[in-house]
Amino acid sequence: MAEALDRLDLKILDRLQIDASESSSEIAERVGLSQSPCWRRIQRLKEEGYIKAQVAVLDREKFGESMYIFAQLKMGRLSDEARESFIRAIEDIPEITEAYTLFGEMDVMLKVLAPSMAWYQNFTFRRLLRLPGVEDIRSTATLSEMKCTHRLPLPSAP
């Protein structure tokens, strides 16, 4: 159902993940195409699911002090139900921005946006430790952000 992407598709995708507010004619010019084929390619890339969404990136520093904290969770054995309820809980907590299952010792890695240390301490006890299956938590607090992007490395890019 999804054919391979050519160099132009990759260039278009990379432009869009840098700046999706550009018009299709601007992008067309950048990648060396005229407006309408460029527009059609973008439509196709959306239909085929290469482009999942188009979102505004906000400046979190404008919304007060906050810090990312990585929390590694040690999980007990979970039934399928409990596991699903765990995942639903993760999705429902907006301060948890990312969650991954892990190889190795700790089972789950969370990235949490914490307004403060006090908030986070409360959060670990009142929320995280009460999630189904969570047995232990090891947290790593970040001090400052050097780089943060969602841009995927594509073959076309630098």
- Minimum separation from the CB atom of position 62 to DNA (A): 18
Rounded to whole angstroms, how far apart are CA atoms 138 and 125? 12
Judged by CB under 8 A, the number of residues near a copy of itself is 62
User: Letter for the amino acid at 37?
Assistant: P
Q: Does 87 bind a copy of itself (CB under 8 A)?
A: yes
Q: Which 3 state secondary structure label does DSSP give 104? A: coil
Residue of 34, 116, 121, 142 interacting with DNA (CB under 7 A):
34
Instruction: Give the largest CA-CA distance in the chain.
Output: 57
Torsions phi, psi of 31, nearest 5? Answer: -95, -5
Q: Is 121 among the residues that bind a copy of itself (CB under 8 A)?
A: no
For the CB of residue 153, give the shortest distance to DNA in the complex, in Å: 24
Mention every residue, 6+ apart, whose C-beta is less than 8 A from residue 102.
72, 108, 109
- Interacting residue ranges for a copy of itself, rule: CB under 8 A: 2, 13, 16-21, 48-60, 62-63, 68, 70, 72, 87, 90-92, 94-104, 106, 108-109, 113, 140-154, 157-158
